[in-house]
């Protein structure tokens, strides 16, 4: 059994097909333990750390940071028995199993050098008896200077080693030449003194625009060439090629070049969000209703809650009361917590409450499983953990799966409310707007009160206007006087 084991990118759940390598947590030569995190991968749903399946030593890393890899593709090779000696390399440079050193008898059978101009294979073994170079049967030492492939990473080629004395007569070898970096290729194939990192779409763009990748300095991960690098080079080339016929038009044209544009790849969370929102917007008939509520009593209730000793270390926010209001309203109107399944409606007796969270990776919606069974304190702790995990970029795909109803808190951005789009598979989503002090008619007089606006979007195939209105009204009633609603509803 081979001691070199290749670890493939696993399926991280929910049918994901690819992931982007955000950061390698190990490097070639590191000794690693079983289940030690080795790489951080971003999928369309979350950024996760993947642990090692075997203990051993990192033998090879196949994809640089920033590259997108399909599920099932090898990403790293691990030597599971590093104490057994060095690993032989194949002629292509790929990891190979350890090979035995050829015997003296087999080496003695090698008498003829390959024809001049033949490609020299990788040599295996040490010096053979009689001073000959140890090579595999069927190959022989070269008597002419060999052409070496440029090393990966742009290192200059090494001068050829002095050949051993041949058995048969051969021309004297040419004197070694000082290493010279090969000239950049002019056909856009990405080689310039070494392999230049560039994705296939970038190479095609360079070829179409006539840009030599070998002349560029990459600004992407690990020095990879990006579309912006190619476009900047193309813009500069075009500007140099065309003489300036008039100062003003030339200045105007230059001010709208690619150097003032930004192109953001659509991938990961942004890609999944775009696909989900487009599918939801054009498959579920959305209706949105709005309700403005005086939440002064709710804000005072939160203040009293914060003053209680057992709540002093708990994060208490208006969103906590909104979440509790939604969960209680679902008990009164179960049909809101359902899914359209074509020829049937699936009404769920549990609420996996999604809380939309804005993160550096984009908008994600993790959910609190079976939130309706939690006490107010348990709900507060769950919401705090959910938000902290999301902000740290550690939300797992499982935490974002199987949501049944969602709240989006647009009020944290100073927005009054919105018309949110339904997450796929859900029939309702509530937008919670900013709480503002506004003039409000209270007990027949205009007074400053704490006011917010709610926006409820729902799937009109399941929820008609009456049901949607009653559900939203119950949420508003709870927020208007939460203590009275708790006594009346529970």
CB contact set of 236 (below 8 Å; sequence gap of 6+): none
Would the CA dihedral through 472, 410, 340, 465 be positive or negative?
positive
CB 113 within 8 A of CB 43: no
Q: Give the integer Cα–Cα distance in Å for 416 and 432.
A: 8
Residue 99 CA: distances (Å) to CA of 2, 88, 154? 11, 6, 29
- The closest of 274, 292, 320, 318 to 421, measured between CA atoms, is 274
Smallest CA-to-CA distance from 199 within 211, 185, 212, 213 is with 213
The region that residue 124 occupies, defined by phi over 0 for left and psi between -120 and 50 for alpha, beta otherwise, is: beta
CA angle 385/386/389 to nearest 5° reads 80
Reading the chain (490 residues) residue by residue, the pLDDT tens digits are: 678 999 999 887 656 678 888 889 999 999 999 999 999 888 766 778 889 999 999 999 999 988 888 888 999 999 998 887 776 554 334 443 333 333 333 333 333 333 333 333 333 333 333 443 333 333 333 333 433 334 444 444 444 444 333 433 334 444 443 333 333 433 334 444 456 777 767 777 787 788 888 888 888 777 788 888 888 888 764 434 344 444 445 454 456 777 778 887 877 766 777 777 777 777 778 899 999 999 999 999 999 999 999 998 898 999 999 999 999 999 999 999 999 988 899 999 999 999 998 887 778 899 999 999 999 999 999 999 998 888 887 888 888 889 999 999 999 999 999 999 898 889 999 999 999 999 999 999 999 999 999 999 999 999 999 999 999 999 999 999 999 998 888 7
Find where tokens 């200045």 sit. Answer: 251
Selection from 428, 427, 426, 451 nearest residue 438 by Cα: 451
What is the helix (H) or strand (E) element at residue 107, kind and residue range?
A: helix 104-108
Model pTM score: 0.56
CB 295 within 8 A of CB 479: yes
C-alpha span between 76 and 7 (Å, rounded): 5
Contacts of 193 (CB under 8 A, 6+ apart): 150, 154, 156, 181, 182, 184, 214
Output the pLDDT for position 85: 74
Q: Which two tokens stand for residue 245?
A: 């016929």
Structure tokens at 74: 């090898």
Token reading at 10: 């696993």
Written as six digits, the tokens of 456 are 């409820």
The span from the CA of 325 to the CA of 329, in Å, is: 6
Can you give the length of the chain in residues?
A: 490
| Residue-level pLDDT at 486 | 86
Please provide residue 300's backbone torsions phi and psi, each rounded to the nearest 5 degrees.
-70, -35
From 95, 93, 169, 91, select the one nearest 136 (Cα to Cα): 91
Taking each helix axis from N to C terminus, what angle separates 376-391 and 318-332, rounded to the nearest 10 degrees? Answer: 120
CA distance linking residue 445 with residue 439, whole number of Å: 10
Task: State phi, psi for 212 to the nearest 5 degrees.
Answer: -85, 110
Q: Tell me the two tokens of residue 294.
A: 């005086």
Q: Catalytic residue at 460? A: yes
Task: For residue 445, report the phi and psi dihedrals to the nearest 5 degrees.
Answer: -130, 150
Query: Residue 392 corresponds to which tokens in the numbers above?
Result: 């740290």
Q: What DSSP element (H or E) covers 287?
A: strand 286-294
Q: Are 156 and 180 in contact (CB under 8 A)?
A: yes
DSSP 69-103: EETT-EEEEEES-GGG-PPPBPTTS-B----PPPP
Res 84: pLDDT? 79
63, 286, 333, 460: the catalytic one is 460
Q: Which residue(s) pair with 20 in the sheet?
A: 42, 68
């Amino acid at each position: 059994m081979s001691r070199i084991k290749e670890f493939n990118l696993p399926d991280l759940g929910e049918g994901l097909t690819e992931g982007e390598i955000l950061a390698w947590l190990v490097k070639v030569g590191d000794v690693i333990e079983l289940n030690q995190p080795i790489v951080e991968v971003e999928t369309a749903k979350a950024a996760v750390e993947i642990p090692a399946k075997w203990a051993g030593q990192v033998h090879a890393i196949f994809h640089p940071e920033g590259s997108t890899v399909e599920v099932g593709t090898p990403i790293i090779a691990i030597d599971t028995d590093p104490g057994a000696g060095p690993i032989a390399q194949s002629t292509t440079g790929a990891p190979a199993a350890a090979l035995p050193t050829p015997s003296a008898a087999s080496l003695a059978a090698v008498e003829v050098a390959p024809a001049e101009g033949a490609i020299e294979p990788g040599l295996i073994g040490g010096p053979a008896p009689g001073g000959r170079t140890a090579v595999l049967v069927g190959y022989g030492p070269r008597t002419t200077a060999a052409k070496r492939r440029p090393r990966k990473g742009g290192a200059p080629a090494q001068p050829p080693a002095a050949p051993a004395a041949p058995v048969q007569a051969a021309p004297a070898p040419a004197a070694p030449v000082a290493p010279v970096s090969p000239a950049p290729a002019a056909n856009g194939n990405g080689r310039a003194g070494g392999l230049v990192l560039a994705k296939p779409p970038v190479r095609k763009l360079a070829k179409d625009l006539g840009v030599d990748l070998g002349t560029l300095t990459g600004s992407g991960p690990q020095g990879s060439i990006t579309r912006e690098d190619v476009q900047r080079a193309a813009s500069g080339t075009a500007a140099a090629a065309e003489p300036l016929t008039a100062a003003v038009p030339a200045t105007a044209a230059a001010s709208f070049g690619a150097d003032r544009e930004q192109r953001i790849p659509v991938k990961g969370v942004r890609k999944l969000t775009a696909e989900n929102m487009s599918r939801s917007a054009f498959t579920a008939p959305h209706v949105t209703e709005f309700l403005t509520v005086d939440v002064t009593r709710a804000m005072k209730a939160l203040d009293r809650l914060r003053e209680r000793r057992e709540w002093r270390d708990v994060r208490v926010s208006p969103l906590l009361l909104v979440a509790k209001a939604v969960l209680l309203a679902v008990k009164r109107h179960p049909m809101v917590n359902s899914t359209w399944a074509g020829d049937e409606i699936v009404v769920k007796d549990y609420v996996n409450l999604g809380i939309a969270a804005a993160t550096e990776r984009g908008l994600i919606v993790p959910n609190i499983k079976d939130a309706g069974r939690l006490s107010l304190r348990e709900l507060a702790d769950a919401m705090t953990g959910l938000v902290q995990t999301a902000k740290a970029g550690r939300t797992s795909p499982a935490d974002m799966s199987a949501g049944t109803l969602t709240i989006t808190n647009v009020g944290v951005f100073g927005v009054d409310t919105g018309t949110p789009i339904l997450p796929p598979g859900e029939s309702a989503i509530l937008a919670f707007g900013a709480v503002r002090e506004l003039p409000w008619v209270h007990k027949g007089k205009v007074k400053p009160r704490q006011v917010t606006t709610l926006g409820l979007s729902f799937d009109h195939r399941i929820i008609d206007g009456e049901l949607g209105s009653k559900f939203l009204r119950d949420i508003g009633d709870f927020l208007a006087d939460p203590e009275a609603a708790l006594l009346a509803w529970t």
